[in-house]
């Protein structure tokens, strides 16, 4: 059965002439995702993949014996198969189908020749990067090639994607609002992945959420909790949370809002040392402990460029970092200042990215994608999101300390300290909510006084 599923990859590639754009740096480590750097991209045009489809299609004439044989393979596997893809990306496309037992599934099929073409594109990318390095010695993005070489084989192995999906579903099973598609292993191969079909609207589709009465603030909080748990507590991070991979919906039975997390091909596994230093750094940024910001930024390889690392992680200006990133929201003026200064600091940004640990690169990309979603929803940099991050940091650091404690008394001390810190955060959150309600009351009273009801 698995062998037949593998044949499906070639059949689907012949039946569909959907094109894709193969953008390595956009898929893995697009410097635009750092919100500050723009570099040249190695691309294969849409025409290349389209040509692959058309030439393969011509090799099996419509109505021929081979065509009918391939068609029978599909009917052996599925009761119905939708030829029109639900979505297409650089590596694969996804179709909706129904198995003979009535289960509705999503079928992810790898594009033809993508593995062969990928090796050529990495070589091209390497040549271009080295050539630019010769012309511009300050250009220090050679690490882009190393990261592409490491990550691409993982994304091309759909069995690896299935294992990641199961791991993260188990890891975050305590979040009843999170849904990860179930994998059907008996019909999956390295190039074809069959999984539970889950529908919904994209996480940045505010109109969809309004129509379905889904609270955007609730979704933003849930998404923040999921990623804080991944990064700070578990060190296993989904690194491609663009809107097409994060859906929202109402549960068909309970009516509660859910987040559906798709495309589990690329995860970053954080070492314990990196994860704990990153926890300390974010705690320092949230609570404006500038000495600790310097200390833990330097532990993460920033050196004297620690202010730049802090700005890149938070997407805030250095003056805002010093005032406290949770004290005031991002303004249009601050955003404009960051964009205008990006080109000025390009050499320093290049130097920093070349020296931080490799996991930080995908963390940058992930942060930027999440920040883009929050900006679209209008929930960016809310105090509650920082408090949720701080909770996860406290839990992660406490768990590490308790694991390494040499006595029951020390473990009890750490548990007590953790409980007190979490209580302080809850109290701070309660005060913020009370202030918000009081402010809302004042605004309502002021409007009532300025605009009395008509007689």
pLDDT digits (tens, 9 = 90+) for 281-302: 999 998 899 999 999 999 999 9
- 7 pLDDT higher than 60: no
Is 413 domain-assigned? yes
Give percent above pLDDT 90 in the chain. Answer: 32
What per-residue confidence (pLDDT) applies to 310? Answer: 93
Kindly report the backbone phi and psi dihedral angles of residue 248, in degrees, each rounded to the nearest multiple of 5, phi listed first.
-125, 150
The active-site residue out of 240, 263, 277, 368 is 240
For the question of residue 240 being annotated catalytic, the response is yes
Task: Identify whether 429 is part of a domain.
Answer: yes
* Tens digit of each residue's pLDDT (9 = 90 or more) over 35-75: 333 233 222 222 322 333 333 333 445 556 655 555 566 66
Residue 297 lies in a domain: yes
Between 387 and 244, name the one with better pLDDT.
244
Q: Is residue 314 part of a domain?
A: yes
Per-residue pLDDT tens over the stretch 144-175: 777 778 888 888 889 999 999 999 999 999 99
Counted domains in the chain? 1
User: Of 363, 354, 320, nearest to 232 (Cα)?
Assistant: 363
pLDDT of residue 68: 54
Give the tens place of pLDDT for each residue, 440-452.
566 556 555 655 5
Least Cα distance to 110 among 49, 54, 55 occurs for 49
Report the pLDDT value the prediction gives residue 341, as an integer from 0 to 100: 78
pLDDT at 71: 54
For residue 243, the Cα-to-chain-centroid distance in whole angstroms is 9
**115: pLDDT strictly greater than 80:** no
The rounded distance, in Å, linking the Cα atoms of 349 and 345 is 6
Alpha carbon 339 to chain centroid, angstroms: 22
Structure tokens at 77: 């596997």
Mean pLDDT of all residues belonging to the chain:
77
Q: By mean pLDDT, which of 19-33, 79-93, 107-121, 250-264 is the weakest?
A: 19-33
Q: Which pLDDT belongs to residue 64?
A: 61
Write down the pLDDT at residue 227: 93
Q: How confident is the model at residue 14 (pLDDT cuts 50, 70, 90)?
A: very low
57: in domain? no
pLDDT score at 280: 95
pTM reported for the whole predicted model = 0.75
Per-residue pLDDT tens over the stretch 398-436: 999 899 888 888 889 889 988 988 888 888 777 766 765
CA angle 220, 224, 226 (to 5 degrees): 120
Decide if 151 is inside a domain: no
The one-character DSSP state at 354 is H
For the chain, percent of residues with pLDDT exceeding 70: 76
DSSP run (H or E) holding 261: strand 257-261
435 contacts: CB under 8 Å, gap ≥ 6: none
Q: What are phi and psi of 193, to 5 degrees?
A: -125, 125
Angle between helices 2-15 and 65-77 (to 10 degrees): 120
Distance in angstroms (rounded) separating the CA atoms of residues 419 and 439: 30
Better pLDDT: 191 or 326 = 191
Task: Provide the residue count of the chain.
Answer: 455
pLDDT at 442: 61
Q: Give the list of residues 6+ apart from residue 311 with CB closer than 8 angstroms, or none.
A: 317, 318, 321, 338
Task: Look at residue 262 and tell me if it is in a domain.
Answer: no
pLDDT on residue 119: 77
| 411 token code pair | 């473990």
- Please report the pLDDT score of residue 451 as a whole number: 54
The predicted-structure confidence for 162-221, as pLDDT tens digits, reads as follows: 999 999 999 999 999 999 999 999 888 888 899 999 999 999 999 999 999 999 989 988
Between 363 and 22, the more confident residue is: 363
What sign results for the dihedral spanned by CA atoms 211, 216, 220, 222? Answer: negative
| SS (HEC) of 401-449 | HHHCCCCHHHHHHHHHHHHHHHHHHHHHHHHHHHHHHHHHHHHHHHHHH
174 found inside a domain = no
Domain extent, residue 297, equals: 272-443
Q: 80 pLDDT exceeds 60?
A: yes
Q: Is the pLDDT of residue 32 over 60?
A: no
């Amino acid at each position: 059965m698995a062998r037949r599923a593998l044949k499906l990859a070639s059949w689907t590639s012949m039946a569909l002439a959907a094109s894709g754009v193969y953008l390595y740096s956009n898929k893995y480590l697009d410097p635009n995702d750092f919100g500050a750097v723009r570099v040249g991209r190695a691309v294969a045009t849409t025409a290349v993949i389209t040509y692959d489809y058309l030439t393969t299609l011509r090799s099996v004439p419509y109505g021929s014996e081979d065509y009918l044989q391939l068609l029978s393979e599909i009917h052996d596997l599925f009761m119905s198969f939708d030829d029109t893809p639900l979505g297409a990306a650089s590596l694969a496309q996804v179709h909706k189908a129904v198995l003979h037992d009535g289960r509705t599934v999503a079928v992810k099929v790898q594009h033809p020749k993508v593995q062969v073409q990928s090796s050529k594109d990495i070589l091209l990318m390497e040549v271009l990067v080295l050539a630019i390095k010769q012309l511009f010695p300050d250009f220090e993005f050679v690490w882009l090639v190393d990261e592409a070489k490491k990550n691409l084989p993982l994304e091309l192995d759909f069995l690896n994607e299935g294992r990641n999906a199961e791991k993260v579903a188990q890891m975050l099973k305590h979040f009843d609002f999170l849904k990860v598609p179930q994998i059907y292993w008996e019909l999956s191969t390295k190039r074809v992945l069959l999984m539970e079909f889950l529908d919904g609207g994209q996480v940045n589709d505010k109109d969809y959420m309004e129509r379905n009465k889904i609270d955007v603030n609730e979704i933003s909080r849930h998404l923040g909790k999921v990623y804080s748990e991944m990064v700070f507590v578990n060190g296993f991070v989904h690194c491609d949370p663009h809107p097409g991979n994060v859906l929202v919906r109402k549960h068909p039975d309970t009516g509660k809002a859910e987040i559906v997390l798709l495309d589990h091909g690329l995860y970053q596994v954080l070492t314990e040392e990196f994860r704990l230093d990153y926890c300390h750094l974010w705690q320092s940024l949230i609570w404006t402990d500038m000495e600790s910001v310097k200390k833990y930024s330097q532990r993460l390889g920033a050196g004297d460029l620690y202010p730049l690392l802090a700005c890149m992680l938070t997407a805030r200006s250095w003056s805002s970092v010093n005032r406290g990133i949770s004290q005031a929201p991002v303004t249009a003026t601050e955003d404009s200042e960051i964009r205008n200064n990006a080109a000025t600091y390009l050499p320093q940004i290049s130097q920093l990215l070349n020296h931080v640990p490799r996991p930080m690169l995908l963390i940058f990309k992930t942060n930027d994608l999440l920040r883009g979603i929050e900006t679209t929803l209008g929930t960016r940099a809310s105090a509650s999101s920082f408090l949720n991050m701080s909770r996860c940091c406290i839990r992660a650091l406490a768990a590490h300390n308790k694991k390494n404690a040499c006595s029951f008394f020390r473990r009890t001390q750490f548990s007590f300290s953790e409980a007190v810190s979490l209580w302080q955060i809850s109290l701070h959150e309660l005060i913020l909510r009370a202030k918000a309600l009081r402010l809302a009351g004042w605004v309502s009273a002021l409007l009532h006084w300025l605009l009395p009801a008509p007689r």
